[in-house]
Amino acid sequence: MSAPLRAAIIGGGVIGGGWAARFLLNGWDVSVYDPDPDAERKLGEVLDNARRSLPALYDRALPPAGQLRFCTGIADAVTGAAWVQESVPERLELKHTVHAELTRLAPAEAVIGSSTSGFRPSELTGQGARVIVAHPFNPVYLLPLVELVGAPEHCARAAGHLRAIGMYPLTVRQEIDAHIADRLLEAVWRESLWLVRDGIATTEEIDEAIRMGFGLRWAQMGLFETYRIAGGEAGMKHFMAQFGPALKWPWTKLMDVPEFNDDLVELIAGQSDAQSGHMSIRALERLRDDNLVAMIRALRRTGSGAGGVITAHEARLPAPAEGVLPVTLDRQVPSSWTDYNGHMNEAHYVEASAAATDRFMEMFGADAAYIASGRSYFTVETHVRYLAETHAGDRLRVTTQVLGGDGRKLHLFHTLMREGETQVATVETLLVHVDLTTRRSSEPAPEIGERLAPLLKAHGSLPRPEGAGQGISASGRGAGAG
């Protein structure tokens, strides 16, 4: 087994910490250099949030986390690194100093990326540094976009690493101040400052306008696809013809900037405190992360936007191990699976077992191709025993034993466990083979029986699992759902 790749993070603040978390949770070893005496504590808090949220996007387990090491100097941090990410403050003279050291000390084949949100590569390399722009978005451990700007071969090498850790590299065709996304954000930001300064809206009202309206559309379709739909059946040409004249109307003040003075700062800060000051920054981060996980998981169903990136990345992750009792599910419990009692809701135990059933069916050939051919298995009966509580962030592991599989029927027994091999539930499932054209039971294809036979033989020699064949009992010891 090859050694993990190593990433060096120079500057461990919010962005640097997010980079560290993204690499670590995808199996890279990470070395961090940051002279801030509080760097280890701050980065640890970012990692806590990342461990709670990033694995919850996936239905497979991410690779085992890498090793984190704090270093006392740049030379130590970059030793053996395949990726070096600079996330120091946005001061060009500081970046020049850091990049000179990175160019001198980092391995020749290492990607050297800068998290800069505004500087162009030509400004960063003006004194001979070997660096590209690799501009992410906060939180780096959840949002996939990274804007790459710089030498084509350097950007291409960077893009390969980014895809491997579940990110979406967007190579900017030519350098420009603030790249692409921040220029768009700046336009909205400037207009928002005017609206607050002129008393048209408060900070909270502007945020509501975004999150209750076009922000939801942008998450799945961006700007141009959204406007294409707004054009109706005639599409984008009709939209442009209808709304094009508005470009000449005085709707925005994008070429003008409100005076940045103490009065404006106090106005914005005061309204922001009134809006969100009742929550700590860490609590706001957790709320943001939980919402992002839920929205990105929703986008996975259609492969839209960030959801498509997660689906593609998950397909490259190792499938759960096969064995005498195969692991048919290995994933983290997302916060969206919990309920008002603070633990995993009963419906999601069935959801987890259904995913385990699908994985087991794949093992003997009843996979997507088989279903596309017009045949499948339908669940006709399920019995769940809730044995212990499961909470958001727990790693859930399912093993599956086949109890019967002769003819049209398939009888499975799933055991759900969390860390420490604590059994949290069992789910017994009876399925029947169906012809999808008639929607009636039918005999499976001969090759299904042939591939299922060895599993039936191996599992048949095992003890019958506790709870198999039971009905509802008043003396049940369940304590896991609500």
What CATH number does residue 204 fall under?
1.10.1040.10
14 a known binding residue?
Answer: yes
If asked whether residues 166 and 188 sit together in one domain, one would say: no
Peptide bond into 107 cis (omega under 30): no
- Which of 436, 434, 432, 446 shows the shortest CA–CA distance to 374? 436
Residues lower than pLDDT 70 in the chain: 1, 473-482
Write the single-letter amino acid at 230: A
Say whether both 154 and 244 belong to one domain: no
pLDDT digits (tens, 9 = 90+) for 170-210: 999 999 999 999 999 999 999 999 999 999 999 999 999 99
Q: Is residue 45 part of a domain?
A: yes
Predicted confidence at residue 421, as pLDDT, reads 79
Query: Rounded to whole angstroms, what are the CA distances from 117 to 84, 93, 296, 360?
Result: 17, 15, 24, 46
Look up the CATH number of the domain holding residue 129: 3.40.50.720
Tell me the CB-side half-sphere exposure of residue 131, using CA atoms within 13 A.
33
111, part of any domain: yes
Q: Are residues 341 and 267 both part of a single domain?
A: no
In terms of DSSP bridges, do strands 375-386 and 327-332 run parallel, antiparallel, or are they unpaired?
A: unpaired
Residue 418 within a domain: yes
Residues 374-389: tens digit of each pLDDT? 999 999 999 999 999 9
Does the residue 307 lie in any domain? no
Domain closes at, from 160, 179, 198:
179
Strand 422-435 and strand 375-386: the pairing is antiparallel
* DSSP summary character for residue 190: H
Question: Phi and psi for 242 in degrees, rounded to 5?
Answer: -75, -40
163/251 same-domain check: no
Encode 353-372: b = buried (16+ Cβ within 10 Å), e = exposed.
bbbbbbbbbebbbbeeebee
- Known binding residue 98? Answer is no
41/146 same-domain check: yes
pLDDT at position 147: 98
Please give the Cα distance from 141 to 7 (Å, whole number). Answer: 14
Is 13 annotated among the ligand-binding residues? yes
Q: What range does the domain containing 436 cover?
A: 327-460
* Residue 313 resides in a domain: no
User: What is the tally of structural domains in the chain?
Assistant: 3
Say whether 15 counts as a known binding-site residue.
yes
Residue where a domain stops, chosen among 134, 153, 179: 179
Tokens of residue 148, six digits = 């790459």
Please indicate if the annotation marks 11 as binding a ligand: yes
User: Is 298 domain-assigned?
Assistant: no
Q: Which of 145, 179, 213 finishes a domain?
A: 179
Asked whether residue 173 falls in the same domain as residue 193, the answer is: no
Q: Which helix (H) or strand (E) holds 386?
A: strand 375-386
- Residue 392 sits in a domain of what CATH number? 3.10.129.10
Q: What is the pLDDT of residue 482?
A: 63
In a domain, 465, yes or no: no
Closest CA to 328 of 310, 354, 350, 367: 354
Residues 125 and 186 both lie in one domain? no
On whether both 138 and 173 belong to a single domain, the answer is: yes
- State how far the Cα of 377 lies from the Cα of 404, in Å rounded to an integer: 14
pLDDT of residue 478: 53
Q: In the Cβ-directed half-sphere of 361, how many Cα atoms lie within 13 Å?
A: 26
Check whether 310 is labelled as a binding-site residue.
no
Give the count of beta carbons closer than 10 Å to the beta carbon of residue 293: 21
Q: Do 125 and 227 belong together in one domain?
A: no
Q: What is the pTM of this model?
A: 0.84
Between vectors from CA 100 to CA 94 and to CA 106, what angle results, nearest 5°?
120
Residues 163, 43, single domain; the answer is yes
| φ, ψ for residue 255, nearest 5 deg | -90, 5
Amino acid in the structure at residue 276: S
Identity of the residue numbered 73: G
Predicted local confidence at residue 255, as pLDDT: 78
Are residue 117 and residue 225 in the same domain, yes or no? no
CB 26, CB 164: distance < 8 Å: yes
Instruction: Write 317-320 long-range contacts (CB < 8 A, 24+).
Output: 317/58, 317/60, 317/61, 317/62, 317/63, 318/60, 318/63, 319/60, 319/359, 320/60, 320/61, 320/359
Q: Both 243 and 387 in a single domain?
A: no
CA distance 90 to 93: 9
Give domain status of residue 455, yes or no.
yes
